[in-house]
Amino acid sequence: MTALADSHILIAVGGGIAAYKVCSLISSLGKAGIAVRVLLTDAAQAFITPLTVATLSRHRAYTDGDFWQGDQGRPLHIELGEWADLILIAPLTAHTLAKLAHGLADNLLTNTILASRCPVLLAPAMNTEMWEQVSVQRNWQQVQADPRYHGLATGVGLLACDRLGPGRMAEPEALEIAIESLAITGGKRDLVGKHLLITAGSTREFLDPVRFIGNPSTGKMGIALAQAALARGATVTLIHGPLSFTPAFPQTEKLTLIPITTARELATELDRHFPDADWLLMAAAVADVRPTTTAPHKLAKAELPQALPLEPVPDLIATLSQRKQPHQKLIGFAAQTGEIIPPALGKLERKGLGAIVANPIDQPGAGFGSDTNRGIWLTATQQIPLPAGSKLAMAHRILDLGHGCAAGVSI
Domain co-membership, 211 together with 162:
no
Residues 165 and 297 occupy one common structural domain: no
Q: Are strands 372-378 and 355-360 parallel, antiparallel or unpaired?
A: antiparallel
**180 within domain boundaries:** yes
User: Residues 108, 76: contact at Cβ < 8 Å?
Assistant: yes
pLDDT digits (tens, 9 = 90+) for 95-148: 999 999 999 999 999 999 999 999 999 999 998 888 999 999 999 999 999 999
pLDDT band at residue 11 using 50, 70 and 90 as cut-offs: very high
> What's the structural domain count of the chain?
2
pLDDT value for 74? 81
Residue 202 domain-assigned (yes or no): yes
Q: Are residues 181 and 272 in the same domain?
A: no
Cα atoms in the Cβ-side hemisphere of radius 13 Å centred on 311: 10
pLDDT of residue 282: 97
405 is catalytic: no
Residue 410 belongs to some domain of the structure? no
Q: Say yes or no: 160 and 257 in one domain.
A: no
Last residue of a domain, one of 142, 160, 185: 185
Q: Check whether residue 378 and residue 317 sit in a common domain.
A: yes
Cis, peptide link before residue 343, omega less than 30° from 0: no
Question: If pLDDT is split at 50, 70 and 90, which confidence band does 352 have?
Answer: very high
Compute φ and ψ for 26, nearest 5 degrees: -60, -45
pLDDT digits (tens, 9 = 90+) for 243-291: 989 999 988 999 999 999 999 999 999 999 999 999 999 999 999 999 9
Does 372 lie in the same domain as 271?
Answer: yes
Q: Are residues 152 and 219 in the same domain?
A: no
| Cα distance between residue 319 and residue 351, in whole Å | 8
Residue 319: how many other CB atoms lie within 10 Å: 15
**153-160 own/partner pairs: CB under 8 Å, 24+ apart:** 153/250, 153/251, 153/252, 154/124, 154/125, 154/126, 154/251, 155/251, 156/251, 159/127, 159/128, 160/17
For residues 131 and 167, the answer to whether their CB atoms sit within 8 Å is yes
165 band by pLDDT with thresholds 50, 70 and 90: low
Answer whether 0.85 is exceeded by the pTM: yes
Q: Which of 185, 209, 242 is the last residue of a domain?
A: 185
Asked whether residue 190 is domain-assigned, the answer is no
Pair 56, 140 in one domain? yes
Q: Are residues 349 and 200 in the same domain?
A: yes
Amino acid letter, 402: G
The average confidence (pLDDT) of the chain is 92
Residue 168's pLDDT band (boundaries 50, 70, 90)?
A: confident
Q: How far is residue 257 from each of residues 122, 247, 253, measured CA to CA in Å?
A: 24, 11, 11
Nearest to 63 by CA among 114, 103, 55, 54: 54
Average pLDDT over residues 222-250: 96
pLDDT (0 to 100) of residue 159:
65
How many CA atoms does the CB half-sphere of 87 hold within 13 Å? 27
Whole-number Å distance between alpha carbons of 127 and 115 = 30
Q: What is the DSSP string of 298-341?
A: PPPGGGS-SS--EEEPP-HHHHHHTT--TT-EEEEEEEESSS-H
Any domain includes 165? yes
In-domain check, residue 407 = no
> Which amino acid is it at 18?
A
CB 172, CB 88: distance < 8 Å: no
Domain end marker among 159, 185, 211: 185
**Confidence at 410, pLDDT banded by 50, 70, 90:** very low
User: What's 153's domain CATH number?
Assistant: 3.40.50.1950
Q: 360: domain range?
A: 195-402
CATH value at residue 343: 3.40.50.10300
For residue 315, how many other CB atoms are within 10 A of its CB?
Answer: 15
Amino acid letter for position 337:
T
153 and 16 both lie in a single domain: yes
Q: Exactly one of 23, 118, 161, 405 is catalytic; which is it?
A: 161
Asked if residue 249 belongs to a domain, the reply is: yes
Closest CA to 85 of 10, 1, 34, 3: 10
245 and 317 housed in the same domain? yes
Please report whether residue 409 resides in a domain.
no
How far out from the chain centre does Cα 113 lie?
A: 25
What is the arithmetic mean of pLDDT over 12-34?
94
Q: Indicate whether 134 and 202 sit together in one domain.
A: no
84: pLDDT strictly greater than 50: yes
- The whole-number average pLDDT for the span 340-364 is 94
